[in-house]
Chain A
Amino acid sequence: MVKNHQIVSPGNPNDNENKESGLFSNYELDPLFYDEMFTPNGEPREHYRILWETLNSIPFEQIVQLQEQAERSFLQDGITFSVYGEEGAQERMIPIDFLPRLINRSEWAYLERGLTQRLQALNRFLTDIYGEARILTDGVIPPDLVYGCPHYRIEMAGVTLPHDVHVSICGSDLVRDNKGYMVLEDNLRTPSGVSYMLANRQAIRSSLRTLYRSYSVLSIGNYTNLLYQSLAEIAPTGVTDPCIVLLTPGVYNSAYYEHMFLAREMGVELVQGNDLLVHNGFVYMRTTQGLRRVDVIYRRLDDDFIDPLIFRTDSQLGVPGLFHAFRLGNVAIANAPGTGVADDKAVYYYVPDMIRYYLAEEPIIPNVETHLCREPEGLEYTLDNLDKLVVKQVGESGGYGMLVGPHASQAERDDFLRQIQAFPENYISQPTLDISRAPSMGENGTIPCHVDLRPFILQGSETRIVPGAFGRVALRPGSLVVNSSQGGGGKDIWVLEN
């Protein structure tokens, strides 16, 4: 059903006579979507007012130059990502949207509480399912959902970890509609994007110096310090000055820039599998002065590839014997193997139940309404409403393996219908969300684009969150897909002190 809505266009504060000449003069509001910058009647929200007035006072040509300056700084710094399967596109620049998204302090405090609560429950869940599995025996979550999940690692059963931390780095995707924030998904394996959060901030702060100074924006500059601290806290027992390394699959990985960036900022070695070896249950790296023991590995490759003796035998990226050293407690791996079971799209459905079960609290930030096709009623609802729903494959991520019902052709829907009927346990469905929009730079002014944000939550002996996030924006008009591999761009998030 198409909803009727009225289009409202905000004006230019400096040009009351001619409302068509401002940066936002062609910006269209749609009451269906929460607008991050404007109220439904076209007034800038209070915390956006300075930004609105400042940008309206700058000639459009100058704004275009500032946008280009920000993009150029990305190119010169080699801030790129790779898209798998694209020939000739080994390195692509992630598009940057010049207009920041602002979040006020109280709103951020709410998100911080909700995200902390969520990660604590998820870590408790992982400790539990690889230990006593009480949540399964108590019937809160169906055991077959966990044990049948491809990301469940039986090898982790009985492994105890310092502070019970399985997930040291979590990136949760948040969206907002007219009712408020929701968690779209949790990324608990090797979440990426934090370097773009920091790079976006640097680029936008340089381009919008005066505006940045006008706001009291909370700093995100200590993220890598907090990351280092969190990693050091999960070092093997008795290690006081741990040797931390970042394990990357190499330069051809889509997030290589980020791996390099984080290693540099933390002052740790960036290693590949062939830099490491295991001897007598300890991990060493090959240096010009001989072998040096490694205590903590921040790995940025999937479980499947970390140890060819345990997981994929054809992996050239991992370290033979690494898992053995890990089980012995001689090396910490962040995130621990087997965390993917907790960010499975079907397990996601049960995260609010986990919060209630482990913490005896109500979830602060709700999930998106989700239907499990493995359940008869969920399957029936999904098949009956395929044209209105977003259907996701439980094992996929990055926007792949998805059907966006309202935008799909009948043939695509029929194809998905057959797949769902054949393997219902592989699918979940969610309503098409009215994800909030924020102004982004278009060719002739600002245009409303759908946005989300991915804050990063760190867990060591305590939970730490920097006041910021990797903001993503669907730059293709009308698109809801914000993934950088599919036309999305980055957007700086300013969390305001006042």
Chain B
Amino acid sequence: MLSSDAQNIYWMSRYLERAGHISRLLETQFDLIHDRPASDVELGWRRIYRSLDRTPSGAKLMPIQDDNFVMLLDAYTLVDDLAFEPGNPDAIIILLGKARENARQIRNILNHEIWSTLNVSFLDMKSKKLKDIWGGQPQDFFIASSVAVRTFCGIAEATMYRDHGWHFFKLGQYVERIQLTCALLDAHIALFPTNDHHWEIHWSDLLGICVARAAFRRLQSVECQPGKVLDFVIGDSRLTNSINYGLGEIQKRLEIISGSSDSGSKNTAAWHIGKTRALIEFDWPVHEKGDDTSIQNLLKQIRTGVLEIDNQINNTYFNYPIEYKSG
């Protein structure tokens, strides 16, 4: 497959995964806004902004440190920043637009169902403005964008031909998912330490964002103990949103793709995925209960490992150097 097509599929998938993740963050945040005290709402905003490593453009002018801008900015401004702000490269509407641009470049290899689903969703979302939806049920917008991404992925799952394009689609999805999940867990642990059991409801929210609550309750417990939640979201091998599952998927896709690749550097990516998986296999769970620093370090190492895998995918399949030989 053409390298640039593979790259477009990979990034389309990454942007969609990110749009879906931010939609779920905001969906959960609206639950907090409706049902929880102001202090919880504030913590929710901090979790979102820390995990995305972002400061809203308006807050950059404020004489404040860290993420205290959430105390000063109203929900309207923050939601607008995360969903519609043209200057935010990770605003939902911008992400959907980027995914559509990637898709536009490879429409010749996407089937009609996939393209039209994304195109229609984007055109629908693009026509909306926060001021128009704020007075009604603004969370519906985020539910809709989340559903749009899931629908797209479902149609892709059901209809995409299982060639390399499909595997690059899945690679992009899981590389992005693991990065986002690690960042979210890192931010969450910083705000809600694992040895403090006052925050159980927030750990339940975390499961919701990771689309893991129902499975957790069914398989683990109705009580959301931090250790068990982390174990589930990091180490479970059957939860599609867990880090362990994602790493396994990346390994599987890379094996399939590299199996028919002549590139000499293909083993580098495989080496990095093996190394990253070993972090969970051997270092998880951390031995000291409540040792949040170690957990955060582990998450950081996983993120670094996945970032390296991303680099290797790029260097091996998209932008590899050409060796010119004479004759």
Judged by a CB distance under 8 angstroms, whether A277 is at the interface is yes
Give every chain A residue within 8 A of B115 (Cβ-Cβ): 77-78
Would you call A263 and B108 a contact (CB within 8 A)? Answer: yes
Judged by a CB distance under 8 angstroms, whether B288 is at the interface is no
B88-141 residues with Cβ-Cβ distance < 8 A to A are: 101, 104-109, 112, 115-116, 119-120, 123
B288: min CB distance to chain A, Å? 44
Would you call B2 and A287 a contact (CB within 8 A)? Answer: yes
A364: min CB distance to chain B, Å? 37
A275 to B63, CA, bound (A): 48
Would you call A285 and B2 a contact (CB within 8 A)? Answer: yes
Would you call B104 and A275 a contact (CB within 8 A)? Answer: no
A353 to B123, CA, bound (A): 52
Q: Residue-by-residue, is A244-283 near B (CB-CB < 8 Å gives 1, otherwise 0)?
A: 0000001100001000110110000111101101011000
Would you call B322 and A291 a contact (CB within 8 A)? Answer: yes
Would you call A270 and B108 a contact (CB within 8 A)? Answer: yes
Would you call A264 and B107 a contact (CB within 8 A)? Answer: yes
A490: min CB distance to chain B, Å? 19
Judged by a CB distance under 8 angstroms, whether B3 is at the interface is yes
A78 to B106, CA, bound (A): 13
A339 to B248, CA, bound (A): 55
* Number of A positions contacting B (CB below 8 A): 27
Q: Is the interface of B mostly helix, strand, loop or mixed?
A: helix
Judged by a CB distance under 8 angstroms, whether A137 is at the interface is no
Judged by a CB distance under 8 angstroms, whether A6 is at the interface is no
Place the interface of chain B in its size category.
20 to 34
Which residue of the partner chain B has the closest CB to A269? B2
Would you call A290 and B263 a contact (CB within 8 A)? Answer: yes
Judged by a CB distance under 8 angstroms, whether B4 is at the interface is yes
Give every chain A residue within 8 A of B6 (Cβ-Cβ): 288
Judged by a CB distance under 8 angstroms, whether B324 is at the interface is yes
Judged by a CB distance under 8 angstroms, whether B39 is at the interface is no
Which residue of the partner chain A has the closest CB to B104? A251
Would you call A288 and B105 a contact (CB within 8 A)? Answer: no
Give every chain A residue within 8 A of B318 (Cβ-Cβ): 288
A277 to B3, CA, bound (A): 13
A450-493 residues with Cβ-Cβ distance < 8 A to B are: none
Would you call A271 and B2 a contact (CB within 8 A)? Answer: yes
A265-321 residues with Cβ-Cβ distance < 8 A to B are: 269-272, 274-275, 277, 279-280, 285-291
Judged by a CB distance under 8 angstroms, whether A210 is at the interface is no
Judged by a CB distance under 8 angstroms, whether A75 is at the interface is yes
Which residue of the partner chain B has the closest CB to A256? B104
A145 to B113, CA, bound (A): 51
Judged by a CB distance under 8 angstroms, whether B5 is at the interface is yes
Which residue of the partner chain A has the closest CB to B101? A251
Residue among A78, A279, A287 making CB contact with B324, cutoff 8 Å: A279
Would you call A76 and B116 a contact (CB within 8 A)? Answer: yes
Residue among A77, A264, A285, A291 making CB contact with B116, cutoff 8 Å: A77
B46-90 residues with Cβ-Cβ distance < 8 A to A are: none
A76 to B112, CA, bound (A): 10
Residue among B5, B105, B107 making CB contact with A269, cutoff 8 Å: B5
Which residue of the partner chain A has the closest CB to B262? A290
Residue among A256, A277, A280, A288 making CB contact with B257, cutoff 8 Å: A288
Judged by a CB distance under 8 angstroms, whether B158 is at the interface is no
Would you call A288 and B104 a contact (CB within 8 A)? Answer: no
Would you call B260 and A78 a contact (CB within 8 A)? Answer: no
Give every chain B residue within 8 A of A274 (Cβ-Cβ): 4
Residue among B2, B105, B120, B261 making CB contact with A76, cutoff 8 Å: B120
Residue among B1, B101, B112, B324 making CB contact with A288, cutoff 8 Å: B1
A446: min CB distance to chain B, Å? 30
Given contacts A251-B105, A270-B108, A291-B322, contact A286 B123 (CB under 8 A): no
Residue among A76, A256, A264, A287 making CB contact with B1, cutoff 8 Å: A287
Would you call B3 and A288 a contact (CB within 8 A)? Answer: yes
A261 to B109, CA, bound (A): 10
Would you call B119 and A78 a contact (CB within 8 A)? Answer: yes
Give every chain A residue within 8 A of B37 (Cβ-Cβ): none
Give every chain A residue within 8 A of B109 (Cβ-Cβ): 264
A441 to B3, CA, bound (A): 45
A449 to B136, CA, bound (A): 46
Would you call B3 and A275 a contact (CB within 8 A)? Answer: yes
B33-49 residues with Cβ-Cβ distance < 8 A to A are: none
Give every chain A residue within 8 A of B324 (Cβ-Cβ): 279
Give every chain B residue within 8 A of A260 (Cβ-Cβ): 104, 107-108
Give every chain B residue within 8 A of A264 (Cβ-Cβ): 107-109
Which residue of the partner chain A has the closest CB to B2? A269
Would you call B4 and A289 a contact (CB within 8 A)? Answer: no
A401 to B318, CA, bound (A): 43
Residue among B3, B105, B326 making CB contact with A287, cutoff 8 Å: B3
Which residue of the partner chain B has the closest CB to A286? B3
A263 to B116, CA, bound (A): 18
Looking at B123, B168, B322, B324, which has the most chain A CB atoms within 10 Å of its CB? B322
Would you call B123 and A75 a contact (CB within 8 A)? Answer: yes
A357 to B123, CA, bound (A): 55
Looking at A256, A285, A290, which has the most chain B CB atoms within 10 Å of its CB? A290
Residue among B106, B112, B261, B326 making CB contact with A289, cutoff 8 Å: B261
A287 to B318, CA, bound (A): 8
Give every chain A residue within 8 A of B317 (Cβ-Cβ): 288
Which residue of the partner chain B has the closest CB to A274? B4
Please, could you name 16 A-B residue pairs with CB atoms under 8 Å apart, sorted by A?
A76-B116, A77-B112, A78-B104, A78-B107, A78-B115, A251-B105, A264-B109, A269-B108, A271-B4, A275-B4, A286-B4, A287-B3, A288-B164, A288-B168, A288-B257, A289-B261
